[in-house]
């Protein structure tokens, strides 16, 4: 006759959910900070693939905004680079601290309806952004008119 402990262990194994051998892992879902683009991002030039700056994104009254916090490889001959090609109130403003994203509103899987400034050209474009890779990448699309006429950059979350 089997011992009562052995019977209890066998019954509990039969009644408990089946699990694969090895450590148990929950499915990965983005944390609250990863589900939102709020934070610091390394911008990556879509032509050269080089990291160019760190942009800080914040939320204010349901809209997203972003500004340049740091240049990654600044020109040593230009200690205070400025947005020389910008127009209006942004003309000749220092790049550090320059607001380049504004008025993005949450929609289905991303944020849209805002604008983005390209400090190299001084031009302002319509903008959409979306989180990718569990919140580690930000797809940033600037365009004229409609989304087909534009370009996309992928920014990397700064850890």
75 Cβ neighbours under 8 A, 6+ residues apart: 81
pTM: predicted TM-score of the whole model, two decimal places: 0.77
Residue 98 has pLDDT above 90, yes or no: yes
In the block, residue with structure tokens 């006759």: 1
CATH code where residue 121 lies: 2.40.128.520
Q: pLDDT tens digits, residue range 21-80?
A: 334 434 444 454 458 999 999 999 989 999 999 999 999 999 999 999 999 999 999 989
Query: Which domain does 110 fall in, by range?
Result: 30-157
Paired strand residues for 94? 82
- State the average pLDDT over residues 13-23: 37
36 Cβ neighbours under 8 A, 6+ residues apart: 59, 131, 135
Q: Note whether residue 1 is domain-resident.
A: no
The pLDDT-based confidence of 147 (bands split at 50, 70, 90) is confident
Q: Note whether residue 89 is domain-resident.
A: yes
- CA 81/CA 70 separation, integer angstroms: 11
Q: What are phi and psi of 142, to 5 degrees?
A: -105, 140
Q: How many domains does the chain fold into?
A: 1
Q: Note whether residue 153 is domain-resident.
A: yes
Q: Note whether residue 44 is domain-resident.
A: yes
């Amino acid at each position: 006759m089997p011992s009562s402990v052995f019977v209890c262990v066998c019954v509990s194994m039969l009644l408990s959910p089946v699990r694969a051998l090895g450590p148990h892992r929950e499915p990965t879902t983005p944390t609250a900070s990863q589900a939102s683009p709020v934070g610091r991002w390394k911008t990556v030039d879509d032509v050269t693939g080089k990291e160019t700056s760190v942009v800080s994104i914040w939320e204010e009254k349901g809209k997203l905004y972003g500004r340049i916090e740091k240049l990654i490889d600044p020109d040593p001959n230009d200690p205070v680079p400025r947005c020389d090609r910008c127009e209006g109130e942004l003309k000749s403003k220092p790049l550090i601290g320059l607001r380049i994203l504004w008025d993005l509103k949450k929609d289905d899987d991303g944020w849209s309806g805002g604008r983005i400034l390209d400090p190299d050209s001084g031009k302002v474009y319509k903008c959409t952004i979306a989180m990718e890779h569990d919140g580690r990448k930000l797809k940033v699309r600037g365009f004229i008119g409609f989304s087909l006429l534009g370009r996309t950059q992928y920014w990397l979350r700064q850890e």
